[in-house]
């Protein structure tokens, strides 16, 4: 089946630094990738949708200059949290879809802690 690799699984960084999270589709070409954030005991919240080669579409309330998304190839999307603050500490999950109407495959998630 389709596999999405996400790393790192855990990262601790200092306030003010930037962190990059990678999401790779291993055996399919992901035309669309999605980035979610999940706070403890809360549901997944869609942050942005990215299509290969295009600028990401951000959900309302998500700062595009803070959460930089790059989807330069059909198998790789990255999320960079810039100038991280403790309130950015969360569980970030990517998912990928091969084509419209296809199923979604989730990465294993990244636990970000900003100290």
Partner 1 sequence: QKEVEQNSGPLSVPEGAIASLNCTYSDRGSQSFFWYRQYSGKSPELIMSIYSNGDKEDGRFTAQLNKASQYVSLLIRDSQPSDSATYLCAVRNGANNLFFGTGTRLTVIP
**91 counts as binding partner 1 under rule CB under 8 A:** yes
What burial class does residue 63 get, using C-beta atoms within 10 Å of its C-beta: 0-12 exposed, 13-18 middle, 19+ buried?
A: exposed
What burial class does residue 95 get, using C-beta atoms within 10 Å of its C-beta: 0-12 exposed, 13-18 middle, 19+ buried?
A: buried
Contact positions with partner 1 (CB under 8 A) in 7-36: 34, 36
- Closest contact distance (angstroms) between CB of 38 and partner 1 is 9
Position among 14, 60, 61, 100 found at the interface with partner 1 (CB under 8 A): 100
CB atoms within 10 A of CB 90: 20
Residue with Cβ nearer partner 1 (15 or 54)? 54
Report how many helices (DSSP H) and strands (DSSP E) the chain contains, helices first. Answer: 0, 11
Query: Look-up: residue for tokens 């790059």?
Result: 70
Residue with Cβ nearer partner 1 (20 or 111)? 111
**55 counts as binding partner 1 under rule CB under 8 A:** no
Instruction: Kindly list the residues in this chain that would bind partner 1 in the complex (CB under 8 A).
Output: 34, 36, 42-46, 49, 91, 93, 95, 100, 103-104, 106-109, 111
């Amino acid at each position: 089946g389709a596999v999405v690799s996400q790393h790192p699984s855990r990262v601790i960084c200092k306030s003010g630094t930037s962190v990059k999270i990678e999401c790779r589709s291993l055996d399919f070409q992901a035309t669309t990738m999605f980035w979610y954030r999940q706070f403890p005991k809360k549901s997944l919240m869609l942050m942005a949708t990215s299509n290969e080669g295009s600028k990401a579409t951000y959900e309302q309330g998500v700062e595009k200059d803070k959460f930089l998304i790059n989807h330069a190839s059909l198998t790789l999307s990255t999320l960079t949290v810039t100038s991280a603050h403790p309130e950015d500490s969360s569980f970030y999950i990517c998912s990928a879809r091969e084509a419209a109407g296809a199923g979604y495959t989730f990465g294993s998630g990244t636990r970000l802690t900003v100290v």
